[in-house]
Amino acid sequence: MDSVTIDLARAWMRAAAESMDEHAEELTRLDAAIGDGDHGSNMRRGFSAVAGKLADTDFPSVGSVLTLSGRTLISTVGGASGPLYGTVLRSAGKRLTGSTASPGELLDALRDGMEAVRGLGGAQVRDKTMVDALAPALAAYSAALEDGADLGAAVGAAARAAGEGAQATVPMTARKGRASYLGERSRGHQDPGAASTALLFAALASVVGA
Ligand code: ADP
Ligand code: MG
Ligand code: MG
């Protein structure tokens, strides 16, 4: 498989919903240590609403799957992560107007998503947020494509880098979001949003067959 289809995009969002549901307790535990302990329930509620919408909608383009998913997260998740994830998916969706997208087009779309979330939340790399999983994932995806990797290999590399990026947030001091209220005391804990971003990329890898 070397292009992203509408069905693949739907399968990605459904797999993300399953994964957020499965890992909700773990995400909540991470958020309880440095936030307010709702990240797992936020992700579970948001993505379960996304899965519901996907089931009864016909989509004209790859992007429309992501855009509707993003809008649904914004309207169903009260926490910071709803608007943040919603912005990533909505911005990524805008560019993908065809019924298929190439691996490079998906990269450009996800980069738009990352730029949009950085614009919204003002987070830099190393601020201990979801950006610390997103940025290395997209860098690895891009490097893999430059090396001639196909979609599966590039997405696999992105998922591994997102997981490593999430792990690498443990020693960081949070400078954005609720965890930043703790200052230095946020060190020693993984950022929950970086952890859920790693799950999002793992879900993509699982449906691409990476
Ligand atoms: P809330 O903090 O409102 O309870 P969640 O617990 O669902 O929302 O999400 C917290 C996650 O959101 C953090 O772990 C972090 O990854 C992400 N986050 C918070 N603020 C920002 C920001 N300004 N930029 C990027 N990500 C952020
Ligand atoms: Mg929270
Ligand atoms: Mg909250």
Residue 74: count of CB within 10 angstroms of its CB = 17
Backbone angles phi, psi at 101, to 5 degrees: -135, 145
What spacing in Å lies between the alpha carbon of 79 and ligand 3's midpoint?
Answer: 4
Domain 4-208, architecture per CATH = Alpha Horseshoe (1.25)
**CB-ligand 1 contact for 112 (6 Å cutoff):** no
What spacing in Å lies between the alpha carbon of 31 and ligand 2's midpoint?
Answer: 6
Q: Give the pLDDT of residue 128.
A: 98
**ipTM attached to this prediction:** 0.99
**CB-ligand 1 contact for 129 (6 Å cutoff):** yes
pTM: 0.98
DSSP 8-state assignment for residue 100: E
H helical segments located in 56-130: 62-76, 81-95, 103-121
**CB-ligand 1 contact for 36 (6 Å cutoff):** yes
What spacing in Å lies between the alpha carbon of 107 and ligand 3's midpoint?
Answer: 30
pLDDT tens, 158-194?
A: 999 999 999 999 999 999 999 999 999 999 999 999 9
Domain-wise residue ranges, the chain: 4-208
Q: Give the pLDDT of residue 1.
A: 64
Q: Which residues of the chain have pLDDT under 70?
A: 1
Instruction: Answer for the pair 139, 129: CB distance below 8 angstroms, yes or no.
Output: no
